[in-house]
Structures are given as C-alpha cells and as structure tokens.
Amino acid sequence: MRPETESDLRAVDVTKRYPGFSLEGVTLEIPRGFVVGLVGQNGAGKTTLMRALLGSVRVDAGHVELFGQDLCALGDPQRAALRARVGYVGAICSYPPTMTVAQVAHMSALAFPRFDREVFEGLCRRLGLTGGGKGSRSVKELSRGMGMKLQLCCAMAAGSDLLVLDEPTSGLDPIVRDEVLDVIRVWMEAEGRSALISSHITSDLEKIADYVVMLDGGRVALSCARDVIDDEMGIAHLRGAELERVLSEGRVAAPGEARVLKRDLSFELLVSDRTAFARAYPDYVCDRATIDDVMALMIKGEVR
Ligand SMILES: Nc1ncnc2c1ncn2[C@@H]1O[C@H](COP(=O)(O)OP(=O)(O)OP(=O)(O)O)[C@@H](O)[C@H]1O
C-alpha cells in the first residue's frame, strides 16, 4: 500500500491465536490521510485484528507501529499516550446507560486532554443528537443509530488522529448511514487524519474507503486500492466451454491463480484487468466488479 506515504498504523505479520481461531501473519497499513475498509465474513477476524492493532489484545507474533512507534517497545505511559490519539468506536455503545449526552461529553473531556467541547457540540447538533432539549436524554433512551453517532462525536471531538471504527453503520437505516459517512468524510477533510473502518455493508465502503483489506479465516485474502477494484477488476460471465478456453489460454490468470464461481447457468471468473479481457475476448461479457463480487470469488471461488 502506498509505500511513499507515511503510515499512521503499520502491522507486520500480526498473529493472534485463540483455541479454534487464529489471525495469521496479517500485514496491513493505514496511510496517513486515507480510509482503509476492512471486510470479511462473520468470524473472519476483523474485530480481533482491530483489537490487536490497538494493543487491547496481546499478539502472539508480529508487531504494530502506531504513528511510527513500535507499540511493543514502549512502556505503558508512552503506549497510552499514543493510544489516546486513536478514536475507537465499537458496534455497541459502551457509555453508562443513565448518563446524559451532556454528561458523556463531560466524562470525555476529563478522559481526553484534547477533547474539544465546541467541536463535540457542533457535531452533535449536525447529527441531531442535541437541540430542542435532546441533550438531556440519557444513553439508554438513544436509538442504536443515535448511540453510534454519540460515540463518533466523542471520538472525533477527542482530537483523534486515527479513527478505528468497528461496523459503524451496522443496523442503521440508509439515511442515517449516509449521515454517518458524511460526518466521517468531513472529519477526514482536516489534514493528517486516517481511518480504519470494518463493515459488512460494502456499499458504504465503496463510498468512503480508499483501500480495501479483505480477511478470510484470519488471513489477508486481498489488499488493494479501491480504485483497482472499481476501475480495473471485472467479473466475466462464461459458459463452461468459454471458461475452459479462457483458462487454457492463460491470458487472464496463470494456472492455479484463477478464481471461479459456479452459478446456476454459467460461471463467474474474477478478472484483474477487465479492459485487457474485453480486448482479448470481445464476445464475452465482463462486468465491473464490486467489493461483494470480489469477496465472493476470493472467499468462495474455486482456484483453477
Ligand atoms: N477472546 C476470545 N477468545 C476466544 N476466541 C475468540 C475471542 N475473541 C474472538 N474469538 C474468536 O475469533 C474469531 C474471530 O472473531 P472476530 O470477532 O474477530 O470476527 P469478526 O470478523 O469481527 O466477526 P463479525 O463480522 O461477526 O463481527 C471467532 O471465531 C471468535 O469466536
């Protein structure tokens, strides 16, 4: 990923083993100023990876550099200081349920020295969390979407340089999802900010992510710029004989590197360069690939 850009976070060969699951040799970078989207099926290891990156779980091997410093080589105070520059938002709103929005702000201001109340209040107004007496509502009275917005407002107002968001749009309606994405986009406009966002709603990542990292069974199955998926990759829809012809000619993928998925009446073939494919096989249909398409082929596709 963009070796010429400074990285806010760099993970090298990160391994975390649980009984029955392991995150194996994950290497990943979050270049400064960019959004990295993390995708994968349920249980692929996204949350475990995020927790390992933030030092919330001890890794068994590999290392993590946060803002250029090796987390393992630091003492607790230095690690905590670096960690304070990262805003983490989990899928569940973790504030005490009886606290009001205003009290959450007060608690955050005590916890985060860089917490900016004006920024917090501006964000809350923008997202409809406050105004018209709404600020006196307690956390338990907030809907799931409101709880997510409140966590985001706190993380952004805390002066974070890097946001790590675990499924920030899950369970939200499309309008609220767009609002949340808009707020992240506006936050990203300030220089030097980055984000790692996991999601099962890949259409959200298509709107916001600059890079995509795909996890499968605890390993990185694909890591690339989103533009590569949008502009270059394709899904060819082929009949059996057409597929065999394309595979035997070896122009699309070397033997052992093609990904093929059988559908009811045809086969799908993952194509890394759809323009070259169209030139080589002008009579065969090849569509643009979405993140979902690529995920299905990479994870469920047969290797040919
Ligand atoms: N503390 C733990 N002890 C043992 N196993 C764990 C622990 N935390 C996670 N796991 C296991 O690690 C695997 C990956 O879980 P993880 O929550 O990271 O996946 P995920 O990709 O975030 O899934 P989802 O999309 O469903 O949220 C699962 O099999 C889970 O049971």
- What pLDDT band is residue 191 in, cutting at 50, 70 and 90? confident
ipTM: 0.98
Q: Is 17 in the pocket of ligand 1 (CB under 6 A)?
A: no
C-alpha 86 to ligand 1 mean position (Å): 22
Question: Which residues make Cβ contacts (< 8 Å) with residue 278, sequence separation at least 6?
Answer: 286
pLDDT > 90 fraction of the chain, expressed in percent and rounded: 69
Q: Identify the pLDDT of residue 295.
A: 96
Reply yes or no on whether the pLDDT at 1 is more than 60: no
Mean pLDDT of 58-73: 92
147-161, 203-217, 244-258 — most confident range: 203-217
Q: Which bin fits 132, alpha (ψ -120 to 50), beta or left (φ > 0)?
A: left
Q: Is 18 in the pocket of ligand 1 (CB under 6 A)?
A: yes
295 CB burial (10 A radius; 0-12, 13-18, 19+)? buried
Reply yes or no on whether the pLDDT at 107 is more than 60: yes
Q: Give CATH for domain 7-228.
A: 3.40.50.300
Reply yes or no on whether the pLDDT at 18 is more than 60: yes
* Residues 275-301: tens digit of each pLDDT: 999 999 999 999 999 999 999 999 999
- What pLDDT band is residue 37 in, cutting at 50, 70 and 90? very high
Q: Identify the pLDDT of residue 206.
A: 94
Nearest CA to ligand 1 atom 9: 48
Q: Of ligand 1's atoms, which has the minimum distance to the CA of residue 40? A: 21
- What pLDDT band is residue 76 in, cutting at 50, 70 and 90? confident
Mean pLDDT of 189-205: 93
Q: Is 45 in the pocket of ligand 1 (CB under 6 A)?
A: yes
Q: Is 192 in the pocket of ligand 1 (CB under 6 A)?
A: no
